[in-house]
Amino acid sequence: MIKFATIGTHWITKQFIEAAQQVGWQLTAVYSRQQASAQKFADQFIGPIKTFTELDEFLASQDFSVVYLASPNSLHFEQSQQALLAGKHVIVEKPACSNPTEMKQIIKILRQHPELYYFEAARHFHEPLFQQVKQAIKQLSVIQGAHLTYEKYSSRYDAFLAGQEPNIFSLEFSGGALQDLGVYLVYAAIAWFGYPQSADYRPQKLRNGIDGRGIAILEYPRFQVILKFGKTTNSYLASEIYGLKQTLILDSPAKLNELKMADEQGNVQSLARTTTENPMLAEVKDFDQLLNKPASLIAKQKMEDWLALAVQVNQLMYQLRQSAELSFPADEKYI
Ligand SMILES: NC(=O)c1ccc[n+]([C@@H]2O[C@H](COP(=O)([O-])OP(=O)(O)OC[C@H]3O[C@@H](n4cnc5c(N)ncnc54)[C@H](OP(=O)(O)O)[C@@H]3O)[C@@H](O)[C@H]2O)c1
């Protein structure tokens, strides 16, 4: 049985734990900066669960082999690095790293420790519907482009408007629309169409320079993929992938409910639907398969394939930020 521990005590960690418990994983430890919040968080689950407020002590614990990490974005790199060096497998929330410098350092550690597994928790990529979209794209006689979208008003935007700076709207914490919701679309674009030959990001920046929403244009040799994402508005537009006379339609690569196909007359038929309630279950099942056979060459290769995609996503996100003159303090930290 996989024993795991968590960093971060917000709702996403709870959702991950519930998915992990569904596949039989045992939560044995919780880290929080405050003892009271660690205890309050741990009390929601059936124990015994140890609580920690010191990261070194937490990572030195022999009670678990896997750490799930859902802290603010800019902390992902250092905490992942520390966890790997302590001999733990790491599942880190998206975006795994703030920039390619950090990502290279993680890869270096992984090369020195081939026994360790490291996963970016790009939950949508693991959903069956994500792969079904990929298959449906392959069936198109031609691809003429795509418009992928995910815009949702953030529960933290009211606080930002009131003069505060929540982590997700902060440069210091490597936040912003691209890092938070855009990453889902970047994943989809690379997984479905490959790495673009050029990329340009046009953000709407907020008062502190962070991107609240924006549009990215990815140029491929024969078509364009437009990404539209944001955290300051709600959008109800669908995402579309254009064939010749057929169009694939889905809500969003990040919210995979249903894949539909419209024919040249505009008749729409449903191709596939998502059935699971917990959107993190598919990724946990995938991680479970690999972590249960850590020495298997097939498992290792699968992790390497996902890692190669995560590296490309990290590279393209950085390229997009550079095109928009959007830099983070984290970009200067390890140069
Ligand atoms: N896959 C998904 O569907 C999904 C959905 C939402 C979020 N996420 C990802 O999950 C991660 C966390 O997002 P979130 O919205 O939960 O972030 P958050 O609320 O800003 O922070 C998450 C946790 O980190 C700790 N924390 C907060 N501020 C901190 C600080 N200044 N220094 C150190 N630790 C701090 C807190 O835990 P303690 O107070 O207990 O230390 C908090 O519970 C992000 O990377 C995000 O992209 C993924």
pLDDT, residue 59, reads: 98
Q: Decide whether any atom of ligand 1 lies within 6 Å of the 88 Cβ.
A: no
CA of 167 to the centre of ligand 1 (A): 8
Q: Which domains does the chain have, with CATH numbers?
A: 119-335 (3.30.360.10)
pLDDT, residue 335, reads: 66
pLDDT, residue 125, reads: 98
Q: Which of 6, 7, 9, 10 to mutate to test the pocket of ligand 1 (most atoms within 8 A of CB)?
A: 10
The rounded average pLDDT for each run of 10 residues, N- to C-terminus, in the chain (335 residues) is 97 98 98 98 95 98 98 98 98 98 98 98 97 97 97 98 98 98 98 98 98 98 98 98 98 94 97 91 98 95 98 98 98 84
Q: Which of 77, 93, 277 to mutate to test the pocket of ligand 1 (most atoms within 8 A of CB)?
A: 93
pLDDT, residue 277, reads: 86
Secondary structure of the chain in HEC code, one letter for each residue: CCEEEEECCCHHHHHHHHHHHHCCCEEEEEECCCHHHHHHHHCCCCCCCEEECCHHHHHHCCCCCEEEECCCHHHHHHHHHHHHHCCCEEEEECCCCCCHHHHHHHHHHHHHCCCCCEEEECHHHHCHHHHHHHHHHHHCCCCCEEEEEEECCCCCHHHHHCCCCCHHHCCCCCCCHHHHHHHHHHHHHHHHHCCCCEEEEEEEECCCCCEEEEEEEEECCCCEEEEEEECCCCCCCCEEEECCCCEEEEEECCEEEEEEEECCCCCEEEEEECCCCCCCHHHHHHHHHHHCCCCCHHHHHHHHHHHHHHHHHHHHHHHHHHHCCCCCHHHHHCC
